[in-house]
Amino acid sequence: MNMKTITFTLNRKEQSFDIEPDETLIDLLRRTGHTGTKLGCDTGMCGSCAVIVDGRAINACILFAFQANGRTVETIEGVGDFDSPHPLQTAMADAGAVQCGFCTPGIVMTAKALLDEKPDASEEDFKLHLDGNLCRCTGYVKIKEALLSCSSATGGES
Ligand code: FES
Ligand code: FES
């Protein structure tokens, strides 16, 4: 197939990539080293591949890479790391909300998109926004505690 070149801002840095026309954004991200974004269902159903595109959480498995052209994309690598974690990552770890960890990057990205827009997000807001993020391990109670602790409504800081 004909390769195309696209350019977009990835984790605050403008970058160009050669892509296949039918390549998905998650395939592009993972082959370029952004493996914190996890491929679960590959059908837009589990949220493990969530990234933030122009401020909104989007499942990268159902977005073609060319659709990112000219846009701003944030992945978990741009949010925080072991040495400098984002408050959401710290809260997830502290609450024991991570077991296998496969769902965690998608949950953090989806929650971050919500808190960026609405720092005082309520429990109901989190429920609505994260209803597409599945976790097979935790039962969600600890995840809910962790996310809520980052809302300014509960004195948290995102
Ligand atoms: S891998 Fe994208 S939604 Fe499940
Ligand atoms: S911690 Fe394992 S799927 Fe959520």
List pLDDT tens digits, range 107-133: 999 999 999 999 999 999 999 999 999
- CA pair distance 26, 33, nearest whole angstrom: 11
- CA pair distance 80, 21, nearest whole angstrom: 31
pLDDT value at residue 153 = 87
pLDDT value at residue 158 = 67
pLDDT value at residue 15 = 98
Each residue's pLDDT tens digit, 42-88: 999 999 999 999 999 999 999 999 999 999 999 999 999 999 999 99
Name all domains of the chain by residue range, CATH numbers in brackets.
4-78 (3.10.20.30), 87-150 (1.10.150.120)
pLDDT value at residue 156 = 78
39 CB within 6 A, ligand 1: yes
Closest ligand 2 atom to Cα of 97: 1
Contact by Cβ (8 Å): 65, 24 = yes
- CA pair distance 58, 25, nearest whole angstrom: 10
pLDDT value at residue 2 = 85
pLDDT value at residue 26 = 98
What pTM does this model have? Answer: 0.96
* Ligand 2 site, CB within 6 A: 98-103, 135-138
Instruction: Tell me the best of 38, 104, 130, 147 to mutate to test the pocket of ligand 2, counting ligand atoms within 8 Å of each CB and taking the most.
Output: 104
